[in-house]
Amino acid sequence: MAGHHHHDLAGQRESALRWSLLLNGGFLAVEVAGGLLFSSLALLADAAHMSSDVAGLLIALWAQTAMKRPASDRHTYGLQRSEVLAAVVNAALLLAAVGWIVVEATHRFSDPAVVETTGVSIVAAIGLAINLVSAWMLARTAGRSLNMRGAYLHMVYDAAGSVVVLLSAIGAAISDARWLDPVASLVVAAMVLWGTWHLLREALSVLMEAAPKDIDLKQLSSTLEAEPGVASVHHLHVWNLASDVTAMSAHVILENGGSLHDAQLKGNELRVLLHDRFGIDHATLELECHPCD
């Protein structure tokens, strides 16, 4: 039943990514054309961010598809880490976009361009609507998935960027302040950099096999040791195969030796406990009757 639910969720995530890719890919062409036509660096900066988002959505879609591939003799866990690698590539694309925005904004301060504020406002408003719809679709299926959460954050920051561009266009129309356009682009760059740092840090944490932040190892150990028949737990390791797929291994010393059959039944009980209480999908328990060396 749980596997069927996971399969349905994977299908919903793919669908959300496909629709977001279609909407944002179409609008990217509109935004680039608008930025060139209306001489708006803020619009082009947001387009640069969106281009990385479109590439990011493509990568996220590939990762979501790759994760469905079954385990093999070479990849015994399947391709669960695909989404984490996708997040790292996404972060690299975003950092490159931030660098371009900062360089171009610096040039615009010394040589400000006349911005067609009405056209910029219309394009930014359309972008905002597309970003919000995409973010809503991705948020509905994100769950604990780092891949989906990264795509969702892209859309949220794009929406914020569209708001900044829209406000700068309105401000420039009222006061004829040309410096608002490059300032708006730097604000967009700062927001992108902030989101990218958090995404990259979390992805690298998974790659370095750090313990998941939502699991307290002391609580996990004490919960196991509080179970009837369990004397102690040692060699406890917890890591993420993917952002929403947790694995662990541990040595569990049982109080009464009993038979191998009894030990297996106790191990099964502990695995169910680990899944229900901590969301651990893959638990490898070495059951012992006395401490090992």
What's the number of domains the chain is made of?
Answer: 2
Per-residue confidence (pLDDT) for residue 116, from 0 to 100: 66
Q: Which domain holds residue 42?
A: 2-207
The residue-averaged pLDDT of 262-287 equals 91
Claim to verify: residue 111 and residue 26 sit in the same structural domain: yes
pLDDT band at 4 (very low <50, low <70, confident <90, very high): very low
In whole angstroms, give the CA distance from residue 90 to residue 64. Answer: 14
Q: How is residue 218 written in tokens?
A: 């002391």
pTM, two decimals, is: 0.67
Domain boundary at 207, 227, 253, which? 207
The mean of the pLDDT values for the chain is 80
φ, ψ dihedrals at 262, nearest 5°: -60, -40
Q: Which residues pair with 245 in a beta bridge?
A: 242
Claim to verify: residue 239 and residue 110 sit in the same structural domain: no
pLDDT band at 42 (very low <50, low <70, confident <90, very high): low
From the list 168, 45, 42, the residue with the least C-alpha distance to 100 is 45
- Best-predicted range by mean pLDDT among 9-13, 92-96, 99-103, 224-228? 224-228
Question: Could you tell me if residue 137 is inside a domain?
Answer: yes
